[in-house]
């Protein structure tokens, strides 16, 4: 759980449990698995137990909701950063039921449910054709194959807001056939050990597609690779500055280059 999350596209994070199973290329270097192992939690894989939480943990979203009553303001809750709510495990059903009830009891919170398993949503969510107005449903599409598999499934769910997380972006995407059913596109490069580089052209193409379809676009980060000469930031920190430059001078050149591209990829005004 995280009140006032550092994730820039949400306000809070809430995890009904920890743990998952890898199902796609985006999962290869899963940050959540790495973090869980770092803190001594063996919760990944089909045979591992999941980590659950007590009453204080579950009461926090109700407190966030109460603080917003009468203010006319809303908060976003990313659920779940350390799991997938729609994982295909029947032993999770009681915890899912508790989550659905919590969502319905907190109408001042917009719940962002991001899944890599959109094909399971209709069988596991309880709302049928009438989804609560405070549920935003998203799916991960790291390459064209996953987009073509996941986005028809996402489009079939009558959530108020449907969004895409193209992060880590692992290849070019053509989303033009799907953007009519999408409310928001989030994208970014991969970070962490063994991060795979993304081409700036992939992000620019997504930006243009979103602008043409009038869909809000959010560029989160380059990741560990930035535009230019194939620069990997963690490696650069342990190497000499190129061409005999001081790190200060080279770092400023890099910062200026990144700022120019990142400014170009700012959120679409309609977002």
Q: Could you report the per-residue pLDDT of 238-269, keeping only the tens digit for each?
A: 555 444 444 344 344 434 443 343 333 333 32
Answer whether residue 1 shows pLDDT above 60.
no
Tell the burial category of 144 from Cβ atoms under 10 Å away from its Cβ (0-12, 13-18, 19+).
Answer: middle
Which of 44-48, 146-150, 181-185 is predicted with the least confidence, judged by mean pLDDT?
44-48
Which of 122-131, 222-231, 256-265 is predicted with the least confidence, judged by mean pLDDT?
256-265
Contact 68, 108 (CB under 8 A): yes
Answer whether residue 212 shows pLDDT above 60.
yes
* 123: its two tokens: 């069988």
Q: Which is more confidently placed, 236 or 134?
A: 134
- In this prediction, residue 193 carries a pLDDT of 79
Contact 215, 182 (CB under 8 A): yes
- In this prediction, residue 229 carries a pLDDT of 53
Q: What value does the mean pLDDT take over residues 215-224?
A: 90
* 113: its two tokens: 């449910």
* 198: its two tokens: 């993304």
Pairwise CA distance, residues 209 & 213, whole Å: 6
Which of 3-17, 137-151, 169-183, 235-249 is predicted with the least confidence, judged by mean pLDDT?
235-249
Could you tell me the pLDDT band of residue 192, with boundaries at 50, 70 and 90?
A: confident
In a 13 Å sphere around the CA of 54, the CA atoms on its Cβ side amount to: 1
- In this prediction, residue 60 carries a pLDDT of 97
For the packed helices 247-264 and 200-213, what is the interaxial angle rounded to 10 degrees?
20
Q: What value does the mean pLDDT take over residues 139-153?
A: 98
- In this prediction, residue 4 carries a pLDDT of 66
Pairwise CA distance, residues 8 & 182, whole Å: 20
Strand partners, 110: 76
Q: Could you report the per-residue pLDDT of 34-62, keeping only the tens digit for each?
A: 888 888 899 999 999 999 999 999 999 99
Pairwise CA distance, residues 271 & 269, whole Å: 5
- In this prediction, residue 179 carries a pLDDT of 98
Burial 20-42 (b: 16+ CB within 10 A, else e): bbeebbbbebeebbeebeeeebe
DSSP 3-state percent helix, strand, coil across the chain (nearest 5)? 35, 15, 45
């Amino acid at each position: 759980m995280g009140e006032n999350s550092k994730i820039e596209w949400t306000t809070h994070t809430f995890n009904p449990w920890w743990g998952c199973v890898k199902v796609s290329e985006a999962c290869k270097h899963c940050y959540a698995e790495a973090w869980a192992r770092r803190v001594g939690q063996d919760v990944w894989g089909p045979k591992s137990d999941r980590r659950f939480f007590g009453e204080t943990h579950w009461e926090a979203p109700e407190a966030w909701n109460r603080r917003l009553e009468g203010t006319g303001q809303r908060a976003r809750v990313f659920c779940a950063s350390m799991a997938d709510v729609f994982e295909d495990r029947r032993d999770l059903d009681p915890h899912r039921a508790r989550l659905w009830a919590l969502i319905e009891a907190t109408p001042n919170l917009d719940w962002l449910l991001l899944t890599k398993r959109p094909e399971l949503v209709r069988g596991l969510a309880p709302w049928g054709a009438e989804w609560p107005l405070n549920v935003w449903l998203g799916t991960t599409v790291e390459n064209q194959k996953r987009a073509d598999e996941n986005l028809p499934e996402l489009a079939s769910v009558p959530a108020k807001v449907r969004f895409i997380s193209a992060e880590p972006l692992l290849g070019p995407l053509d989303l033009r056939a799907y953007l009519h059913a999408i409310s928001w596109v989030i994208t970014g490069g991969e970070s962490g050990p063994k991060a795979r580089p993304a081409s700036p052209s992939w992000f620019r193409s997504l930006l243009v597609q979103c602008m043409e379809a009038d869909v809000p676009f959010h560029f989160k980060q380059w990741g560990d690779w930035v535009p230019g000469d194939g620069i990997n930031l963690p490696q650069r920190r342990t190497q000499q500055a190129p061409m005999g430059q001081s790190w200060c001078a080279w770092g400023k050149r890099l910062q200026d280059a990144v700022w120019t591209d990142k400014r170009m990829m700012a959120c679409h005004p309609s977002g």
